[in-house]
Amino acid sequence: MYQCTLKSIFSTLHFSSYFYCIFFTYISAHLAFLCNIFTFSVFICPLSCVCKVKYLHSMKFRILTFVLFSTGAGESGKSTIVKQMKILHQGGYTKEEQLEFRAIIYGNILQSALAIIRGMEMLGIDFGASSGQVDSQKLQNLSDSIEEGTMPPELADVIMKLWKDSGVQAAFDRAAEYQLNDSAGYYLNEMDRICKADYMPTEQDVLRSRVKTTGIIEEQFSCKELHFRMFDVGGQRSERKKWIHCFEGVTCIIFCGALSAYDMVLVEDDEVNRMHESLHLFNSICNHRFFALTSIVLFLNKKDLFEEKIKKVHLSICFPDYDGPNTYDDASNYIKSQFLELNMKKGVKEIYSHLTCATDTKNVEIVFNAVTDIIIKENLKDCGLF
């Protein structure tokens, strides 16, 4: 009853359709709460992740489109977040689309195997087996002769044989000292399955595949009956100049920083620590005049890798001033504080931070629900209704 009454009242007023939608949503949600009639609800707490937003389908509201800008340094997990949006909000990947990732995954495996062999040479690690050197040369020869994106049986066999070598495993354990894809271990451990003739990539295989993002990639989807346009942009230095000027006035920036990158260097500059580069980029975006009024959500990603790494490598390798306990909670909180301290408008601009694992669909779903609530809250604020 109250919905109809409010609708008739507002129909006599000359508000813009956008203001009408936000205001009606706000008032109806609160009346619903007071009347214990949960027709739909808007949750303004950014930590809310259990409840759903349901708008009345009978209401002729204009569809609101929110523009999300996903950024961060290279290999921080931005593109994986975008893939998760397709899985969560666009029905996932078709069989045909999954098959298209097979060549990418084969390429990732080959490049990972070659990277580990190069890492062994750089670190002065010998093969454990006497046949290791011969197998290594065979790998190199095959990589030069096979069609790109294929995995013939002889190549699969030599990679699996090398992966079992103690010297290769020793080099893999020191992967932070050279450039190696985060998913190398996952794929190499799954070689028996991946190398079958009828191999169909799983969603997890797709999520872990790596292709360098160049230019600007867009995904559109709906969540909680709101329409989103999400843009994924290249994180390497050479890519940033292509996009920084394109996103003035976006609804929300999702900045991805890899927690596990604190002991790693950039692909494009082996003198620069990846965490330091991520902080530098965050500083430039957070305080940029283009984004003065833009909500920023900080995803401190790869928490699963960080949890394992922090047991072995002290955080002081990246932050010499850090003398706290080298535990997951203490170290991750310290890294988070380093990002949040860069915000030069703390009284005006709030940074919403989350620890994430971009390859964990459930974790991303929970976190993105929170992000959606943040966007609703900020839009109510903009209208003076919160």
How do residues 56-92 score in pLDDT, each as one tens digit? 233 333 345 677 767 777 788 889 999 999 999 999 9
Spacing of C-alpha 219 from chain mean position: 14
CB 158 within 8 A of CB 165: no
For residue 60, what are the contacts with CB-CB under 8 A and spacing of at least 6?
none
Has 341 been annotated as catalytic?
no
Q: Which of 35-49, 244-258, 264-278, 319-333 has the highest mean pLDDT?
A: 319-333
Instruction: Assess whether pLDDT exceeds 80 at residue 141.
Output: yes
Do the annotations mark residue 107 as ligand-binding?
Answer: no
Q: Give the pLDDT of residue 230.
A: 87
Rounded to an integer, what distance in angstroms lies between the CA atom of residue 288 and that of residue 320?
28
| pLDDT band at 244; cut points 50, 70, 90 | low
Q: What residue has token string 């750089």?
A: 122
Do the annotations mark residue 132 as ligand-binding?
Answer: no
CB 373 within 8 A of CB 223: no
User: What mean pLDDT comes out for the span 361-372?
Assistant: 94
Do the annotations mark residue 76 as ligand-binding?
Answer: yes
Indicate which residue of 3, 25, 71, 80 is catalytic: 80
Do the annotations mark residue 213 as ligand-binding?
Answer: yes
User: What mean pLDDT comes out for the span 257-263?
Assistant: 96
Q: Which of 292, 313, 43, 287 is nearest to 173 (CA)?
A: 313
Q: Which of 156, 155, 146 is nearest to 190 (CA)?
A: 156
pTM: 0.79
Q: How does strand 216-223 pair with strand 226-233?
A: antiparallel
Q: What residue has token string 């799983």?
A: 202
Q: Which of 61, 75, 169, 59 is nearest to 119 (CA)?
A: 169
Indicate which residue of 165, 205, 219, 232 is catalytic: 232
- Dihedral in degrees, nearest 10, Cα atoms 280, 286, 289, 293: 180
Do the annotations mark residue 143 as ligand-binding?
Answer: no
Across the chain, mean pLDDT equals: 81
- Dihedral in degrees, nearest 10, Cα atoms 84, 89, 92, 93: -80
Has 80 been annotated as catalytic?
yes
Q: What angle do CA 329, 331, 334 make, to 5 degrees?
A: 105
Indicate which residue of 165, 190, 210, 373 is catalytic: 210
Following DSSP, what letter does each residue of 87-123 receive, concatenated? HHHS----HHHHHHHHHHHHHHHHHHHHHHHHHHHHH
Rounded to an integer, what distance in angstroms lies between the CA atom of residue 366 and that of residue 369?
5
| pLDDT band at 49; cut points 50, 70, 90 | very low
CB 218 within 8 A of CB 85: no
Q: Give the pLDDT of residue 120.
A: 98
Instruction: Assess whether pLDDT exceeds 90 at residue 248.
Output: no
Do the annotations mark residue 207 as ligand-binding?
Answer: yes
Do the annotations mark residue 78 as ligand-binding?
Answer: yes
Q: Give the pLDDT of residue 13.
A: 40
For residue 196, what are the contacts with CB-CB under 8 A and spacing of at least 6?
none
Q: What residue has token string 């003739």?
A: 197
CB 78 within 8 A of CB 71: yes
Q: How does strand 295-301 pair with strand 252-258?
A: parallel
Rounded to an integer, what distance in angstroms lies between the CA atom of residue 357 and that of residue 346?
27
Q: Which of 79, 63, 73, 66 is nearest to 21 (CA)?
A: 63
Do the annotations mark residue 316 as ligand-binding?
Answer: no
Q: What residue has token string 């509201």?
A: 61
Has 232 been annotated as catalytic?
yes
Of the listed ranges 48-52, 154-158, 269-273, 330-334, the least confidently predicted one is: 48-52
Has 236 been annotated as catalytic?
yes
Report how far apart, in Å, the C-alpha atoms of 228 and of each of 22, 64, 168, 220 are: 16, 8, 44, 6
Has 174 been annotated as catalytic?
no
Q: What three-state secondary structure class fits 253?
A: strand
Per-residue pLDDT tens over the stretch 307-351:
999 999 999 999 999 999 999 999 999 999 999 999 999 888 889
